[in-house]
């Protein structure tokens, strides 16, 4: 059978039952970005894949690439199964939202190491009980979403007015312009508090594990800012962050 062997690390974003005993996997891989693969016989009781072809598993994969769009999984070993993430309701929801956002926003079959590393770091944080206690879930989820917009090429402009370049009096956010706007350009924008603006700047500058805190109004504005930016520029609608 013609074809080549592909070795890569990947995260399972979605795992779908297929046919009698197979699984189709939506993967985000370190070396090739988005991949689709089929794991034949994965649902047989004695499958060599065991239970590791489930969402959130970080795997070392050997895949066969033939003529089909789907690669065939030859072998899969676990790099990390994030077992504590799986036993916590809020962490499971947050992980599912993250995978869903990747499915919608990052569909290119090309390597994007910052995107891959971001997803691995977020799943590791959700798997870490100490990190869960330190950082509020919504702040971390929104910091993840801002960094996701950045690695997907849709980071909002935060330094100066998107419309005229003014660096002061940045009082609004325009999703269609993709960034902050000043008082005289605010017609098509919504109000952005200093706290919301500060959160976005700090969340992008700091590691995901140090997501800054902010009040509920600011967080709602941040979610709206990222959401409207991605709607206008990536043509993608994300589900609620938390």
By CB under 5 A, name the binding residues for Zn ion: 161, 163-164, 166, 182, 185
Q: Rounded distance, CA 12 to CA 35, Å?
A: 10
25 vs 200 by CB, closer to Zn ion: 200
Q: Rounded distance, CA 98 to CA 119, Å?
A: 8
Residue environment code for 171-192, b if the CB has 16+ CB neighbours within 10 A, otherwise e: bbbbbebbbbbbeebbeebeeb
**Shortest separation between residue 229's beta carbon and Zn ion, angstroms:** 17
Nearest to 30 by CA among 7, 52, 56, 64: 7
140 vs 163 by CB, closer to Zn ion: 163
42 vs 185 by CB, closer to Zn ion: 185
Residues found in the chain: 242
**Shortest separation between residue 182's beta carbon and Zn ion, angstroms:** 4
**Shortest separation between residue 178's beta carbon and Zn ion, angstroms:** 13
Report which DSSP code applies to 138: H
**Shortest separation between residue 200's beta carbon and Zn ion, angstroms:** 18
Q: What six digits make up the tokens of 14?
A: 């979605």
Q: How many CA atoms lie within 13 A of 188 on its CB side?
A: 12
63 vs 161 by CB, closer to Zn ion: 161
**Shortest separation between residue 184's beta carbon and Zn ion, angstroms:** 6
47 vs 160 by CB, closer to Zn ion: 160
Q: How many CA atoms lie within 13 A of 156 on its CB side?
A: 33
């Amino acid at each position: 059978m013609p074809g080549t062997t592909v070795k890569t690390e990947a995260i399972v974003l979605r795992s779908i039952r297929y046919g009698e005993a197979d699984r189709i996997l939506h993967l985000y891989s370190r070396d090739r970005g988005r991949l689709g693969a089929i794991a034949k016989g994965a649902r047989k009781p004695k499958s060599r894949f065991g239970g590791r072809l489930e969402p959130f598993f970080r795997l070392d994969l050997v895949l066969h690439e033939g003529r089909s769009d789907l690669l065939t999984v030859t072998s899969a070993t676990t790099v990390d199964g994030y077992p504590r993430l799986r036993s916590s309701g809020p962490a499971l929801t947050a992980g599912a939202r993250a995978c869903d956002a990747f499915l919608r926003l990052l569909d290119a079959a090309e390597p994007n190491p910052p995107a891959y590393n971001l997803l691995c770091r977020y799943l590791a944080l959700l798997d870490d009980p100490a990190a869960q206690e330190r950082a509020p879930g919504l702040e971390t989820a929104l910091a993840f979403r801002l960094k996701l917009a950045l690695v997907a090429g849709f980071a909002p402009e935060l330094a100066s007015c998107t419309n005229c370049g003014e660096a002061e009096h940045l009082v609004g956010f325009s999703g269609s312009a993709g960034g902050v706007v000043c008082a005289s350009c605010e017609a098509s924008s919504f109000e952005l508090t200093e706290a919301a603006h500060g959160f976005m700047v700090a969340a992008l500058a700091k590691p995901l594990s140090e997501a800054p805190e902010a009040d509920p109004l600011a967080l709602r504005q941040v979610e709206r800012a990222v959401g409207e930016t991605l709607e206008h520029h990536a043509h993608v609608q994300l589900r609620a962050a938390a």
